[in-house]
Structure 1
Amino acid sequence: MTRAEYPWLLPSDLADPADPADPGGPEGRDVRRHRRTVRDWIVDTTAFVFAAFVGLLAAEASSQLDNSEVAVFADQLLGAAACCALWLRRRWPVGLAIALSVLSTVAPTAGGALLVALFGVAVRVPFRRLAYVGGLALVCGVAQVFVRPDPTLHPLVAVAVGVVLVLLVTGWGMLVRSRRQLVVALRERARRAEAEAELRAQQAQRAAREAIAREMHDVLAHRLTLLSVHAGALEFRPDAPPPEVARAAGVIRDSAHEALQDLREIIGVLRAPGDREDGDRPQPTLATLDALIAESRQAGMKVTLDNGIDDPAGVPAATGRTVYRIAQEGLTNARKHAPGTEVTVTVRGHPGDGLTVDVRNPAPTGPVPHVPGSGQGLIGLTERATLAGGRLTHGPAPDGGFTLHAWLPWPS
């Protein structure tokens, strides 16, 4: 804690009061490092005036009793010294309270200063040490009744008044200490909450970036695979008939255009809400699965779609988009690793039972061209399906082909 963070606290409260070994604690701190503020001066002056007022009342009462002038003068001198000693209570609160407790036994004029010192101890030290100091003050208060008796008060009444005053002052000081500790705890809790909120924001940002990376892979892998396959065909068959060359060039051009559109759409997610363009294309759903199959067929793939969903528009958008990405990744992998085979895409499901999607392809019959790939697409699909509340499995089929199976929840 620092005074800049908690300006309402006393200098002795800036350290841990429960740790006597702390050099910044009430018994060992260096006052040169904690100069009094304006508030401290006001508080200390008020305490001094209160102690002096109580001391004057006690001195006036002592002068009206059968005390000698020497005893009255000694009371006044000791009371003044006790009041002046209060300016040291921030440096030695416990020691000062002990000294004033002993002094009040023979000098009633030090009673006001003792009450102020006890209040300071109750504010600054833990209860265990306060109990020792308070107990000593009570014992000294009882002894004062018999050492310096007041003929106008019964001894039991005098003892009761002294005990009540000590308990009231220490209780008030403990209440102030508890309140300050509560305020500091609330401040620390608010600071931790802000730090945790910032950490959660960073984690959410990281998760969003990972989601964007997965989305970019799912979208662009399909387009770039078309470019790679047809560019490879042109490279290995430079003597192909002009119609085939023109057809392959058209597919490359269309795929490049679609890749640019998809990339623009993904990058648009990173823009501020007010910077989004009105012409952004909608996200794919189950209703656009037919368009994906048609595009793959135009690229030369043999694809069979078995869609058992009567109303694709009735499927939740998030679920439909996940189905679309699974089918897209399955077609991309089949195009890369099993070119020329017939791919079967099957979609089944009912509300309440869930929705299943299967992508199957047999083993390739001829040589397979090498297309770069690391399998990150299947990992991303598995994570996407898990986040959606479903599951995804993939692996080789008994006939040497490859099977991709996913189940997704479909609320009724």
Structure 2
Amino acid sequence: MTRTEYPWLLPSAMADPLNPDLPAERPRVRPRRTVRDWIVDTVIFFAAAAVGLLAGEASSQAGNSDLVVFADQIVGAAACCALWLRRRAPVALAVVLAVVGAVAPVAGGALLLSLFSLAVHRPFKPVAIVGALAIVSCAVQAVVRPDPTISLLGAVVVGVILVLLMIGWGMLVRSRRQLVLALRERARRAETEAELRAEQAQRLAREAIAREMHDVLAHRLTLLSVHAGALEFRPDAPPAEVARAAGVIRDSAHEALQDLREIIGVLRAPGESDGPDRPQPTLTTLDALVEESRRAGMKVVLDNRIGDPDTVPAATGRTVYRIVQEALTNARKHAPGTEVTVGVRGVPGDGITVEAGNPAPAGDFEKVPGSGQGLIGLTERATLAGGRLDHGPRKDGGFGVRAWLPWPS
């Protein structure tokens, strides 16, 4: 519950923030009665009037003088009209009616309904205090204005029971309203938390797509850059080499376009795909990756000691593929012309170990820019898969990557 939702909880006046010494001028904001409030207040007014009429009739039959009966009617009418103030000042209204009810039985109905309203709108402490005052008022009324049809003790007991019933009913209504407010607040918080979880899931999905896009496209675009640079710096190359480089550029551009289309397809809604999904790379496609790098002019030595790659889980095999792909891409960028060694070994239960490395490059070469985000993304990928990845310079000046991934038995 906030003050903006319930403006009547605001202070009665607000001081000028630019000059605190000036008196506040804005009056207290009060809620306007709704149609439901008017209906409830009207029903309560007529209920109190009905009880007052019954009490007035009993007063006239008890042998009271006409002046006392007339005074009772005036007090009863005023008490019923005062119930219209029960929302603004429930405590003050209940106290006044308790005092008046001690000498005017016709105000008893208004007193009971004011106690109900007090229990609905105020906490237990003021309700208990005013309730005790109302019980005393009932006892005083039984002595000052006795009812000839009932004994003194019976009148006191009936009065106490009615007071307790109205207070209990009001507290029950208050508890129910608080429960409804709590459930609404809990539902609102649950919706907010669900939105936060959805936003977090979207952010994680975007990060995963960004890592995948980097891993996929960096390999293809590096091939394009290397071969395009070779054609630029060697315009007099033999036609066979020019044709081979052009073929690699064409194939790499085509594969990059396919990979990009596949990644963008992940962002589309279901049913919006342009065609059937391409198969994801696994450990069984590792030989094709190495062969592609060899056709591009790289020297790659692959030592794959896993006899049956199909038994490796698809997610684990995909991670192995991406690690080797990133190692080949980095070697092509930062150590062209060197021999890259790739080793993959493992058995179910012990996990899979992936090692890739290259010696230091010899001579000058055209450097392809890199941000280093690929290895960071691979480290996160391996960690999420339950494994680990280490990378860094080797003693011979080269660079190496070593990763371990779990392989359940």
Q: Secondary structure at 1:347's aligned position in 2?
A: strand
Q: Does 1:125 align with 2:122?
A: yes
1:207 aligns with 2:194: no
Do structure 1's residue 168 and structure 2's residue 165 form an aligned pair?
Answer: yes
2:81 matched residue in structure 1 = 84
Does the 8 A contact of 2:301 with 2:341 survive in 1?
A: yes
Amino acid at match of 1:192: R
Residue of 287, 301, 323 corresponding to 2:298: 301
Q: What is aligned with 1:10? A: none
Instruction: Please tell me the residue identity of whatever aligns with 2:186.
Output: R
Matched residues in 1 for 2:301 and 2:34: separation?
Answer: 84
> How far has the Cα of 1:31 moved from its partner?
9.3
Deviations 1:125-166 (A, max 9, x none): 111222222122122222212222223323222222111111
Query: Are residue 376 (structure 1) and residue 373 (structure 2) matched?
Result: yes
Instruction: Report Cα offsets for 1:89-130 as digits up to 9, x if no partner.
Output: 222222111111100000011000001111111111111222
d(CA) in 1 for partners of 2:122 and 2:28?
A: 17
Alignment of 1:239-250 (within 5 A): 239-250=236-247
Q: 1:396 aligns with which of 387, 393, 401?
A: 393
**Equivalent residue for 2:145?**
148
- Quick check: 1:395–1:403 contact (8 Å CA) kept in 2? yes
Q: TM-score, normalised by structure 2?
A: 0.91
CA contact (8 A) 1:31 1:91 kept: no
Structure 2 CA distance for partners of 1:73 and 1:30, relative to 1, 3 Å: farther
CA deviations on 1:25-69 (whole Å, 9 max, x unpaired) are xxxx98985332221222112111211121122122222223222
Which amino acid counterpart does residue 184 of structure 1 have in structure 2?
L
2:234 paired with 1:237: yes
The one-letter amino acid paired with 1:137 is A
For 2:141 and 2:30, the matched residues in 1 are separated by 38
> Is 1:97–2:94 an aligned residue pair?
yes
Kindly provide the amino acid, as one letter, of the partner of residue 388 in structure 1.
Answer: A
- The correspondence for 1:351, drawn from 326, 338, 348, is 348
1:186-205 equivalent positions in 2, closer than 5 A: 186-205=183-202
| Aligned partners of 2:7 and 2:31 also within 8 Å | no
CA distance in 1, matches of 2:12, 2:273: 59
User: In 1, distance between residues paired with 2:128 and 2:11?
Assistant: 20
Number of aligned positions between the proteins: 396
For 1:400, the aligned partner's letter is: G
Instruction: Name the counterpart of 1:11.
Output: none
Counterpart amino acid of residue 324 in structure 1:
Y
Bigger mean CA deviation after superposition, 63-72 or 32-41: 32-41
Cα distance, 1:348 vs structure 2 = 1.6
Letter in 2 for 1:194: E
- For 1:117 and 1:170, the matched residues in 2 are separated by 9
Letter paired with 2:70? F
Give the match's secondary structure for 1:54.
helix
Q: Which residue of 2 aligns with 1:75?
A: 72
| 1:223 alignment counterpart | 220
The SS at the match of 2:340 is: strand
TM-score of the aligned structures, taking structure 1 as reference length: 0.91
Indicate conservation of the 8 Å contact 1:15/1:22, yes or no.
Answer: no
Deviations, residues 331-381 of structure 1 (Å, cap 9, x unaligned): 001111111111111112222222221111122233232111111111111
Q: 1:22 to 1:352 in 2, by over 3 A?
A: farther
Pair 1:151–1:15, CA change in 2 (3 A): farther
> Does 1:137 pair with 2:134?
yes
Give runs of aligned pairs for residues 54-65 of structure 1, distance below 5 A: 54-65=51-62
SS in 1 for 2:271: helix
* 1:221 Cα deviation after fit: 0.6
**Residues 1:339 and 2:336 are matched in the alignment:** yes
Q: Counterpart amino acid of 2:134?
A: A
1:177 aligns to 2:174 (yes or no): yes
1:314 aligns with 2:287: no
Identity of aligned residues (%): 75
Which digits, 9 at most, give the CA deviation of each residue in 1:60-94, with x for residues without a partner?
Answer: 22222232222222212211211121122222222
- Which secondary structure does the structure 2 equivalent of 1:372 belong to? coil
CA distance in 2, matches of 1:150, 1:163: 16
Contact 1:44 1:87 in 2 (8 A): yes
Contact residue 293 and residue 300 of structure 2 kept, 8 A: yes
- Partner of 2:17 in structure 1? none
Identify unmatched segments of 5+ residues in structure 1.
6-13
CA distance in 2, matches of 1:76, 1:90: 24
Inter-partner Cα distance in structure 1 for 2:41 and 2:27: 18
> Match for 1:111 among 101, 105, 108?
108
Separation of aligned partners in 2, 1:249 and 1:163? 102
- Alpha-carbon distance in structure 1 between the residues aligned to 2:221 and 2:7: 64
Cα displacement (A) at 1:275: 0.6
Change (3 A) 1:280 1:297: same
